[in-house]
Amino acid sequence: MTATFIESDCSIQHNGQSFTAGGAHICDCSDGYRRGVVYVRPEAKEVTDWHGNKLATANFGRVYQGNFSRMQAVTFIHDGITFHGRYCPDWSQALRVRSTKRVKG
């Protein structure tokens, strides 16, 4: 796997405790697709890194009822590559994404 974007320093301090998240990342996978985790800000129509820095403007689909919760599709372009993913607006801002086409042979 080749990393095209990996966020670091994703820790916060609260009441004397430290909490660390995995952050955002986008990597090339062995099957030729690019995958990752980013975060959404639907009110601003954008995807961000864990710190809230804008990565791209996004298109949000309609919210629909999935098997266990409401879901929403998101599409955006990062580094000239189109990505698509779904997230649950009821409990998370994390968005798992995959490029819509292979980026490597």
Measured CA to CA, the distance from residue 20 to residue 12 in angstroms comes to: 7
Structure tokens at 29: 């996978």
Average pLDDT, consecutive stretches of 10 residues, N- to C-terminus, the chain (105 residues): 70 86 89 95 95 95 93 95 95 94 83
**pTM for this one?**
0.85
Determine the Cα–Cα distance for residues 49 and 39; give it in Å rounded to an integer.
6
Give the span between the Cα atoms of 70 and 42, in whole angstroms: 14
Q: Amino acid identity, residue 40? A: V
What tokens does 17 get?
A: 């405790």
Q: Is residue 64 part of a domain?
A: yes
Domain with 39, as residue range(s), is 2-99
| Residue 44 belongs to some domain of the structure | yes
- Using DSSP's 3-state secondary structure scheme, residue 42 falls into helix
15 occurs within a structural domain: yes
Does residue 105 belong to any structural domain of this protein?
no
Domain tally, the chain: 1
Task: Give the C-alpha separation, 10 to 79, whole Å.
Answer: 23
pLDDT digits (tens, 9 = 90+) for 72-83: 999 999 999 999
